[in-house]
Amino acid sequence: MMNVSIIGTGYVGLTTGAALAFLGHRVTCIDIDPKKVEQLKRGECPIYEPELENILKGCRDRLTFTTDYEPAISGSQVVFIAVGTPSQADGQPDLSYLKSAAQAVGRNLGPKFTVVVNKSTVPIGSGNWVESIVRDAMREAKKEASFSVVSNPEFLREGSALSDMLYPDRIVVGSEDPSATTVMQDLYLPLLKQSFDSPKNLPRPKGFVQSPFVATDLQSAELIKYAANAFLALKISFINEVAELAERVGANAGHIARGIGLDARIGERFLQAGIGWGGSCFAKDTSALISTAREYGLPMSITQAARDVNSRQRARVIEILLSELRILKGKKIGILGLAFKPFTDDLRDAPAFEISSRLKERGAKVVGYDPIANSRVRQEWADRGPIVADSVAEVFAESDAVVLVTEWPELVNSDWKALLPSMKNKLVVDGRSALDRPTLTGLGAKLIIMGYGA
């Protein structure tokens, strides 16, 4: 059991903290936002993530929340930095939060060897930069301490973050110091060996017996993170490009995905055609990768193409509606699902925003609903987004078309029989190939599934 501090209580920090406490470590989560810390102290979770609140509650005796760096950092063997690195206008991430976290670590290091773990997604070379910031801050505070910086990229998906954290496909640690790598191996031992009893609602996947540990250098670990996200993004864009061709030649995108995905070299996951990817990671990381490569004179044309195809997917929704309805001005368009994917309330780069903005520009009245993200939409998008409905029925009533943007099960399984008759025009666009064609067409709807056509 180790003493661990985690700076930043966003998706990554909080999930990491909860999982490490669950595995038996004593964890202090530090955040500069006192409101968030107070909420966490009360046992409330500031973000929606399945099972997170339960795990936080269950591990209360091993978890502390604070705004103070001291004494948490000085008493920790491992300090995680898990702060945000949002994109700037030039595509490069904003590292100011990372810098101030690293300075705080340097000022508060304890007498014993500390491993400083960079969990935030950072430009290649940042590990060395963090090291120099920690060292400078340490010297300014007139401290003499030994520490090592390691990069430990995160591969969790929002909506299944705890499961991804507890049953990881791999754990990557980049470091120049073998003793720091060993500390990380010890910290993660229960995950590597899968020696813990699974939490009640997060069962271990069948046949999952251990997790591989990839020990590498700092730069490689940092690049692994970008390469993984860019590859997943291009896999989705690839199937979307193929699916558009499939629509035109009368082929079936789902069969194609299965037919190519069963080749173990390709793999079946992330071949779901539709509106394309959103969220905080793929757009930000592909853009950062391109921007870093540009500094080295490399065009990264495949990654750029994946981004281009993805923007086209969003534009296609408008094209489909235009070609069906001819005129969008004055028409009511319903949007089912506003978060960037199901089981999260995260709205970052959510396709629903861009789609509703484009529709509004064309004079349409856009009404949206999300099972979890409604209140966040009201706050974050205010009047820039769709009108937020309190029920699915409000979205359908008198509408000229509805678009399924996020495949929440409760939206997919809406009471179509009751809802469709309330529409002015029974046009349904399925952006996630999630709806059942025979059911909807049987009820008189015209269903257009992106990648599959009408």
Structure tokens of 45? Answer: 């979770």
Classify burial at 444, counting beta carbons within 10 Å of its beta carbon; exposed 0-12, middle 13-18, buried 19 or more: exposed
Neighbours of 361 (CB within 10 A): 10
Neighbours of 41 (CB within 10 A): 13
Residue closer to ligand UGA (CB basis): 138 or 309: 309
Alpha-helical runs (H) found in 43-94: 52-58
Is 29 a known active-site residue? no
How far is the C-alpha of 86 from the C-alpha of 97, rounded, in Å? 9
Q: Which residues bind ligand UGA (CB under 6 A)?
A: 121, 154-158, 229, 232, 236, 270-272, 274, 276-279, 281-282, 340-341
Structure tokens of 143? Answer: 């401290």
Structure tokens of 235? Answer: 């896999």
DSSP secondary structure, 414-433, as one string = --HHHHGGGSSS-EEEETTS
**Which residue, chain included where needed, has tokens 């989705």?**
236
In 3D space, the residue among 159, 163, 162 whose CA is nearest the CA of residue 344 turns out to be 159
| 232 Ramachandran zone, left/alpha/beta (phi>0; psi -120 to 50) | alpha
Residue closer to ligand UGA (CB basis): 159 or 386: 159
Residue closer to ligand UGA (CB basis): 229 or 356: 229
Least separation in angstroms between residue 418's CB and ligand UGA is 27
Neighbours of 449 (CB within 10 A): 24
Residue closer to ligand UGA (CB basis): 157 or 204: 157
Alpha-helical runs (H) found in 202-350: 218-249, 253-261, 282-295, 301-325
Least separation in angstroms between residue 66's CB and ligand UGA is 25
3-state secondary structure of 23: coil
- Residue in 29, 45, 59, 281 annotated catalytic: 281
How far is the C-alpha of 172 from the C-alpha of 233, rounded, in Å? 20
At 446, give phi and psi (nearest 5°). Answer: -95, 115
Classify burial at 157, counting beta carbons within 10 Å of its beta carbon; exposed 0-12, middle 13-18, buried 19 or more: middle
3-state secondary structure of 403: strand
Least separation in angstroms between residue 300's CB and ligand UGA is 18
Least separation in angstroms between residue 449's CB and ligand UGA is 13
Neighbours of 322 (CB within 10 A): 13
68 neighbors 108 (Cβ within 8 angstroms): no
Least separation in angstroms between residue 341's CB and ligand UGA is 4
Residue closer to ligand UGA (CB basis): 143 or 157: 157
Largest CA distance in the chain: 75
Query: Buried b vs exposed e over 56-78: b needs ≥16 C-beta within 10 Å?
Result: bebbeebbbbbeebeebbbbbbb
Residue closer to ligand UGA (CB basis): 153 or 334: 153
Residue closer to ligand UGA (CB basis): 155 or 167: 155
Residue closer to ligand UGA (CB basis): 80 or 340: 340
Least separation in angstroms between residue 336's CB and ligand UGA is 14
345 neighbors 355 (Cβ within 8 angstroms): no
Active site residues: 281
